[in-house]
Every structure is written in structure tokens, then in C-alpha cells.
């Protein structure tokens, strides 16, 4: 059965009904990406802490958003931000955005994986958002690889679609069908597509 990985980048205080809908959909979710301020932010946000607690109580995997700048961001900054997500929001793992696809950056992400494992007292789920098909070596580092991120009009995913594959598609019509076991197809458009939920999770109005 397919599962939803939902990167929902709206504040809980401004869109409470949408967050309620996400929590109600817990059995169908692979996880929810928490992104308070294009990352963890510089201080805890009480609204995000409260919704993270509700997600965990519902059995939903909570992932903290961290940008890696395609392997150019200093790894200590990535690890520091990951620690804030853990301390402030109790995340189960991390969604590393702008992940590189080349074999050249494999050591960078392998070192991050090792650093996360050393600093967490429980297993860290790691999702790498490449947005395109990466070198096969990344499958040995992450639990889930996002191999497509883009508009429905360009949704022609290449490469294998195994159990560790996710597609993130925006501008999707209500009858859109994903081609990966983990996915998120939303109606939103640029510049802020991840401010909308998948059609089937949209709260009643």
C-alpha cells in the first residue's frame, strides 16, 4: 500500500484545520516534514512543538527539514540544526533538502548519517530530497530517496521505483496517480506548492 510523505510548510496557528486533517490521516502517512522557519529556526516555536507532539501521539513519523545546499553547506551546521529539531520538536528523523545526486558527495552524506547516529539515542530516519535520480550509492545512506520533485506537467520519472523511492509532485489534478510507493501529489503551484495538502487530505470547507 502506498504511503504519503507530506512536506506541509504552513504555520499550525494559521492553518489549524489542515494540520488536524494531517493528524487524522495518520494511518496513510509515511511521515510529515516539519519546517518552522526554512529549517528549525533560531528558537523553539510553541505551535510547531504542540503539533509535533500531536503527530507523534497519533503514530506519525515527524521529520525535521534541513537544507544541505547540494553538499555545499558546512556539515557542522547541518548537524547543529538537526540537533535543534530533535531538542525542540522531538523529531524521529530528518528530511535533507537540496541533496546532491553525484557520487562525489557520497562521503559528505555518509558522514552526516554517522554523525546523526552518534548523537541520537534512537534510530534516525533519513530522507534525502534529491529531486532527481541520484547515484545508486545514496540508497545505502538514506531510508528514502526523493527521486522526483517537480510539476505534474513534467512528471516523467526515470529510474527504479523501489520501496525506498519517493516522488513529490505539485500542480497535480485531483485524479493524479503517483508512480512511487511513497509520494505526495498536491494541487499547489510555485512559488509555494508545499503550502497545500494532497487532494484527499484537504479539510472540508
For the whole prediction, is pTM greater than 0.85? yes
End-to-end CA distance of the chain: 28
Chunked mean pLDDT (size 10), the chain, 205 residues: 92 97 96 98 97 98 98 98 97 97 98 94 94 96 97 89 93 94 96 95 71
Return the pLDDT at 205.
55
Q: Which pLDDT score is estimated for 1?
A: 59
Query: Counting beta carbons within 10 angstroms of the beta carbon of residue 130, is it exposed (0 to 12), middle (13 to 18) or buried (19 or more)?
Result: buried
Query: What dihedral do alpha carbons 94, 100, 106, 107 form, nearest 10°?
Result: -70
Q: Taking phi first (over 0 means left), then psi (-120 to 50 degrees means alpha), and beta for anything else, what does residue 171 get?
A: left
Distance CA 159, CA 145 (A): 12
Amino acid at each position: 500500500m502506498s504511503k504519503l510523505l507530506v512536506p506541509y510548510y504552513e504555520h499550525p496557528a494559521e492553518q489549524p484545520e489542515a494540520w488536524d486533517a494531517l493528524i487524522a490521516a495518520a494511518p496513510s502517512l509515511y511521515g510529515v516534514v516539519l519546517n518552522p522557519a526554512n529549517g528549525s529556526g533560531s528558537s523553539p516555536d510553541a505551535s510547531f512543538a504542540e503539533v509535533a507532539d500531536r503527530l507523534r501521539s497519533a503514530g506519525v513519523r515527524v521529520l525535521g527539514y534541513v537544507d544541505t545546499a547540494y553538499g555545499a553547506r558546512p556539515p557542522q551546521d547541518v548537524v547543529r540544526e538537526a540537533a535543534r529539531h530533535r531538542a525542540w520538536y522531538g523529531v524521529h528523523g530528518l528530511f535533507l533538502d537540496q541533496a546532491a545526486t553525484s557520487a562525489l558527495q557520497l562521503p559528505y552524506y555518509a558522514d552526516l548519517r554517522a554523525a546523526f547516529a552518534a548523537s541520537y539515542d534512537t534510530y534516525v530516519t533519513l530522507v534525502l530530497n534529491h529531486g532527481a535520480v541520484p547515484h545508486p550509492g545514496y540508497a545505502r545512506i538514506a531510508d528514502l530517496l526523493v527521486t522526483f520533485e517537480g510539476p505534474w506537467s513534467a512528471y516523467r520519472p526515470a529510474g527504479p521505483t523501489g520501496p525506498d523511492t519517493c516522488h513529490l509532485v505539485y500542480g497535480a489534478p485531483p485524479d493524479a496517480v503517483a508512480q512511487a510507493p511513497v509520494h505526495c501529489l498536491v494541487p499547489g503551484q510555485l512559488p509555494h506548492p508545499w503550502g497545500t495538502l494532497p487532494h484527499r487530505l484537504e479539510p472540508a470547507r
